[in-house]
Chains A and B, each alone.
Chain A
Amino acid sequence: MISLKNLTKVYGHGDKSVTVLDNLEIDVATGEILAIVGPSGAGKSTLAQCINLLERPTSGQVIVNGEDLARLPERKLRVARRRIGTVFQSASLLSRRTAAENIALPLQYLGVTPAETKARVAELLDRVGLSHRANHYPFELSGGQLQRVGIARALALRPSVLLSDEATSGLDPETTRSVVSLLRQLRDDLDLAVVFITHEMDTVLHVADSAARLENGRITEQGSLVDLLTDHDSALGRALQPRLSPADPGAGSRAWHVTYDSRTVPADWLQRVSADLGEPVALLAATIQSIDGTSTGNATVGLHAPEPRAAAAFALHGLRAVPREAAAPEARTASAPRSSEELQWA
């Protein structure tokens, strides 16, 4: 596991100093994937460099398996870095080495014998599903394959912590999904603590167990995905939900925004609420998914019933319903195409 305690990074001195990371407290347990999200300039890349110790924190601790690595002398730090595997955003492979040779790099640095290196590289290639690409050069590999090589290289020295620094940024959705499922698979197989830094909100739902939001160098919110998604006051939880463009409720009908308010919402809540209200409730938009076995989601529905009665009917089944006009953040015509980043952080 990895813990960051009072982690602070300040660049510059005196009046010109800039605090990029301010007293961060982050814990990632063994077998957990924590997503750290935040807009550009929030300090994500500095945080990544402090976690894999390419940058020394100004103060605070980086504790991996009980040992504080932040204050180690340079030579020991180099050894300590081997406990943390880092997957970088693309283009960090050596272009003149094959996939296998790239994966072998950390082993060669360590001084592992060629025979052992060969065996370990074969094992790693197999693990990331690239045995058939062992002798291909980076220019011959797709974006997803390059990232798989990067992941295999990060795992070469059997680290207990895996840091993914925007590893899926710039990949197409399908490739992102395959890389994400590989990371989850590896987390399970190898008992890794995974820190997944990204600016892509959509990816978080698929990869993480918990999430933290980094803004202006501070963690403004963190918690398990389920908690965040079922918490109405959580800005991060809202940001994690896919944005929907609801259909028109029709004349005389009123649109309501419904969110899962408890962990025990029945799957057939739409029928139940319809029955309770004595009218068919129209489904205008919905996204429902299972996060660690708990259903979470939100929906827009159309109905005629008066406000207090409708709200009560939803509440009965663990849902929170608000008339659509009042649900300010979601009440936006989503027809105009906007970039996903803008959408997430608007």
Chain B
Amino acid sequence: MGLSIPAAAQIRALSDTPIPELPALLVPALGETLAMVGIVMLIVVALGTPIAVALHNMAPGGLYEHRGTYSVLSWIVNIGRSLPFLVLMAAIVPFTRFVTGTNIGIAAAVVPMSLAGIPFFARLVENCLREVPRSVTAAARASGGSPLQIIRSAQLGEAVPAILGGLTINTIAMIEYSAIAGTIGAGGIGYVAVTYGYQRFDQTVMLATVILLIVMVTVVQLTGDALVRATTPHLRRRA
């Protein structure tokens, strides 16, 4: 899944890319970044949330209190959180190749990004669940709820605004990781920024990618904030 660099841009090599040619360069890159982050976030939410719920409820005082399993799970999550993304990405290349059959391109970037994103999101959500007052879970239990019903309505349900806040943070972190992944050939904005802006001193492309990243992160943050407001009764009513 290589990057289609217009011939004109290649010829110009060490001079700046003319502004009219920027869209042809940036639009496909933006698409690749969005695809990478989108796929990764789906995986992260799908796997990170159950891990967070498990961590929260196996911790002392949880619905399935189990110190041993909690320690093991917590330890695994910590490993995922310990490695700087660049190191993680390099370290798991054999695994990535085993899973995707390749070590370049979007598919190959998704594996390390997910492995970094899942434990990150799990910790964020675990924190959100911890903020829900214990008495709420107790009341749900006293109301005759099954563990699944309690987790859904009293734990995750109550933490929705906080989780959306965490999701926003996580998505922005994944945009950042996608740029790092870009340097090993995953494409996307990061790849363009490094190959044009850094390696060829193309200031126009550099500036354009910076602006594009700022806009992307701002849009994600504003969307996240709006979702938090929409799901928090006292913020919604006042607005």
B232 partner residues in chain A, CB cutoff 8 A? 96
- Known A88-B135, A91-B135: A96·B144 in contact at CB below 8 Å: no
User: Which residues of chain A come closer than 8 Å to B233, judged between CB atoms?
Assistant: 95-96, 137-139
Q: Are A153 and B138 in contact (CB under 8 A)?
A: no
B144 touches A92 (CB 8 A): no
User: Does B142 touch A at the CB level, under 8 Å?
Assistant: yes
Contact residues in A for B149 (Cβ distance below 8 Å): 108-109
- Residue interface mask A78-105, B partner, CB < 8 A = 1: 1101101110110111111000000001
B154 touches A106 (CB 8 A): no
A:129-144 near B, CB below 8 Å: 137-140
Interface centre among B136, B143, B154, B161 (most CB of A within 10 A): B143
A79 CB contacts on chain B under 8 angstroms: 144
Residues of A within 8 A of B157 (CB): 94, 96
Contact of A54 among B142, B153, B161 (CB under 8 A): B142
Asked whether B28 is an interface residue with its Cβ less than 8 Å from the other chain, the reply is no
**Shortest CB distance A117–B (Å):** 13
Give min CB distance, B177 to chain A, whole Å. 31
User: Whole-angstrom distance between the alpha carbons of A140 and B234 in the complex?
Assistant: 8
B contact residues around A95 at 8 Å (CB): 158, 233
Q: Which residues of chain B are within 8 angstroms of A156 by Cβ–Cβ distance?
A: 143
CB-CB under 8 A from B82, the residues of chain A are none
B146 on the A face (CB < 8 A): yes
Q: Give which listed residue, B133, B144, B237, contacts A82 with CB less than 8 A.
A: B144
**Interface: B231 (CB within 8 A):** yes
Contact B136 A94 (CB under 8 A): yes
Name the CB-closest residue of B to A137: B233
Q: Which residues of B contact A84 (CB under 8 A)?
A: 142
Q: Smallest distance from the beta carbon of A89 to chain B beta carbons, Å?
A: 7
User: If A96-B231, A96-B232, A137-B237 touch, does A106 touch B135 (CB 8 Å cutoff)?
Assistant: no
- A81 lies within 8 A of B141 (CB): yes
B175 CB, min distance to chain A CBs, angstroms: 29
Query: Range of interface residues on chain A?
Result: 20 to 34
- Output the least CB separation between A54 and chain B (Å): 6
Is there a chain A Cβ closer than 8 Å to B139's Cβ?
yes
* Residue A52 CB within 8 A of the other chain: yes
**Cβ of B173: which chain A residues have Cβ within 8 Å of it?**
none
Q: How far is the CA of A106 from the CA of B142 in the complex (A)?
A: 9
A88:B146 contact, CB within 8 angstroms:
no
Q: Determine if A86 and B139 form an interchain contact, defined as CB atoms under 8 angstroms apart.
A: yes
Contacts of A109 in B (CB 8 A): 140, 143-146, 149
Which partner residue on chain A sits nearest B231 by CB separation?
A96
B129 to chain A minimum Cβ distance, whole angstroms, is 14
A105 and B143 alpha carbons, distance in the complex (Å)? 7
Q: Is the CB of B153 within 8 A of A94?
A: yes
A157 at the interface (CB under 8 A from B): yes
**Residues of chain B lying within 8 A (CB to CB) of residue A92:** 133, 135-136, 138-139
With contacts A81-B144, A95-B233 taken as known, whether A105 is within 8 angstroms of B153 at the C-beta atoms is yes
Q: Which residue of A lies closest to B143 (CB)?
A: A106
Instruction: Report the Cα distance A177→B139, complex, angstroms.
Output: 23
Return the chain A residue nearest B136 by Cβ.
A92
Contact code string A139-165 (vs B, CB < 8 Å = 1, else 0) = 110000000001001101100000000
Name the interface residues of B211-238: CB closer than 8 Å to any CB of A: 231-234, 237
In the complex, are the beta carbons of A78 and B133 less than 8 A apart? no
**Taking A79-B144, A95-B158, A105-B143 as contacts, is the C-beta distance between A89 and B135 under 8 angstroms?**
yes
Nearest Cβ in chain A — how far from B205, in angstroms? 45
Question: Is A110 close to B, CB under 8 A?
Answer: yes
Q: Mark B156-173, 1 if CB is under 8 A from A, else 0.
A: 011011000000000000
Please, how many angstroms separate the alpha-carbon atoms of A92 and B141 in the complex?
11
Q: How far is the CA of A93 from the CA of B232 in the complex (A)?
A: 14
**What is the distance, in angstroms, from A90's C-beta to the closest C-beta of chain B?**
8
Q: Residue A78 contacts which of B144, B231, B234 (CB distance < 8 angstroms)?
A: B144
CB of B201 to closest CB in A, whole Å: 52
Residue of B nearest to A101 (CB): B153
Fill in one digit per residue for B74-96: 1 if any A CB lies within 8 Å of its CB, else 0: 00000000000000000000000
Bound Cα distance from A82 to B145, whole angstroms: 9
**A96 contacts B160, C-beta separation under 8 Å:** yes
A168 to B234, CA, bound (A): 25
- A85 partner residues in chain B, CB cutoff 8 A: 142
Are B142's CB and A94's CB within 8 A? no
B164 to A: closest C-beta gap in Å: 12
Residue of B nearest to A78 (CB): B144
Q: Are A153 and B133 in contact (CB under 8 A)?
A: no
Which of B136, B138, B141, B142 has the most chain A CB atoms inside 10 A of its CB? B142
Kindly list the 4 A-B residue pairs having the minimum CB-CB distance in the complex, ordered from nearest: A106-B143, A92-B139, A137-B233, A92-B135
Q: List 5 A-B contacts (CB under 8 A).
A: A88-B139, A95-B158, A96-B160, A108-B153, A156-B143
Chain B interface (Cβ within 8 Å of chain A)? 133, 135-136, 138-146, 149, 153-154, 157-158, 160-161, 231-234, 237
Q: A94-B157, A109-B145 are in contact. List 10 more A-B contacts (CB 8 A).
A: A78-B145, A82-B143, A88-B138, A89-B135, A92-B136, A92-B138, A105-B143, A106-B144, A108-B153, A139-B233
